[in-house]
Structure 1
Amino acid sequence: MMENLQPGQKLARGVSRYLRSLGFAPLEEFVPARGLRVDVMALGPKGELWVIECKSSRADYQSDSKWEGYLDWCDRFFWAVDLEFPTELLSDSAGLIIADPYDAEIVRMAPEDKLAPARRKKLVQKFARDAARRLQILRDPRPGADGALVSAPAGEQPDW
């Protein structure tokens, strides 16, 4: 499975493993709002929300024009890159995580800019719903008649 992942997805995997070790619940490719998709959104043990954008190359970073829009959807924003990435390209106003496919480490903590309570509540609820849907799809990937995924009828075991 690892060989099918893109370089940024490999970084997200290492970041997610690291965040779990800190007590966070990471969710990859999370959509906080229409038109935005973050590489990793992590819900912390105290309800904090972090966004981590994984950049695998200079070209990957330079082609990303949406990242500043992510700042309104998290308490802390981080870049995650590998050891070969030219970190001088990255803004000092964001956190920095050095990662590989298996682990990561925060080398610069991101400044905190707390979300408004109403936005936090909305995001945490969306995070929970998205995570629950993904888990259900893993347990029962059977599509319904309209192509939408449905769960097994009551009392029936999924075909996995």
Structure 2
Amino acid sequence: MPSDLAENQIVIRRAILHLCGQMGWSSLNELPLPDGRRADIMALRPDNGFVCIEIKSGPRDFLTDAKWPCYREWCDQLFFAVDRDFPVALLPDSVGLMIVATDMRPAGYGIIAESAIMREAPACPLPSARRRKLTHLFAMQAAGRLGRLDDPAITASLRAARRIE
């Protein structure tokens, strides 16, 4: 695993995003939630279920984080994503577990990493009104990000116009 915690988080994120794609889940990084928090990864499953994935770069990251239980209110399943060296005994059994194993050989876009679900997260279905709100938020974020990628010049001119008004 990378020695730097920020680099470790990036490796975990990339591997988990790849795993989400393999499972047919559509995912967004850093999704702002209505309660002011931000999910590391929020994935929308083909069955319309939401999976929140909280990345932990090391034990200290987990031990100093008191906000993670609040993510349960915004998903059908909650997972922690950690590297293979993380002491998983620290993590509660009430949350799913994804483990990332890396090989430090470079590959086109960086480090080769593999990930797997080691423990399934208990299902806790969202109330329909909250699911509707989250689906709308997810769609708006995804569409906005795609639009900014499609034409950065238009995005820049829209930002400038908003500042003028």
Q: Which of residues 123, 126, 132 in structure 2 aligns to 1:121?
A: 132
In the alignment, structure 2 segments of 5+ residues that lack a partner are 1-5, 102-110
Structure 1 residues 116 and 58 mapped into 2: Cα distance closer, same or farther (>3 Å)?
A: same
After superposition, what is the alpha-carbon deviation per residue over 1:136-155, rounded to whole angstroms, capped at 9, x for unaligned?
A: 11111221265379xxxxxx
Identity of aligned residues (%): 39
CA shift for structure 1 position 13: 1.3
More strand by share: 2
Instruction: Determine the structure 2 residue equivalent to 1:137.
Output: 148
Instruction: Determine the structure 2 residue equivalent to 1:42.
Output: 43
Q: Distance in 1 between matches of 2:66 and 2:161?
A: 32
The 5 Å alignment of 1:3-42 reads 6-42=7-43
TM-score when normalising by structure 2 = 0.82
3-state SS of 1:69 partner: helix
CA RMSD of aligned residues (A): 1.9
Q: Distance in 1 between matches of 2:135 and 2:43?
A: 10
In the alignment, structure 1 segments of 5+ residues that lack a partner are 150-160
CA shift for structure 1 position 103: 3.1
CA shift for structure 1 position 9: 2.7
3-state SS of 1:84 partner: coil
Instruction: Determine the structure 2 residue equivalent to 1:156.
Output: none
Structure 1 residues 59 and 148 mapped into 2: Cα distance closer, same or farther (>3 Å)?
A: farther
CA shift for structure 1 position 7: 2.3
After superposition, what is the alpha-carbon deviation per residue over 1:58-90, rounded to whole angstroms, capped at 9, x for unaligned?
A: 111122111011000000000000000011110
Greater shift in the superposed pair: 34-43 or 94-103:
94-103
Structure 1 residues 113 and 145 mapped into 2: Cα distance closer, same or farther (>3 Å)?
A: closer
Q: Distance in 2 between matches of 1:31 and 1:140?
A: 23
Instruction: Determine the structure 2 residue equivalent to 1:110.
Output: 121
Instruction: Determine the structure 1 residue equivalent to 2:106.
Output: none
Aligned residues: 146
TM-score when normalising by structure 1 = 0.84
3-state SS of 2:123 partner: coil
3-state SS of 1:135 partner: helix
One-letter amino acid of the structure 1 residue matched with residue 64 of structure 2: S
Indicate yes or no: 2:84 matched with 1:83: yes
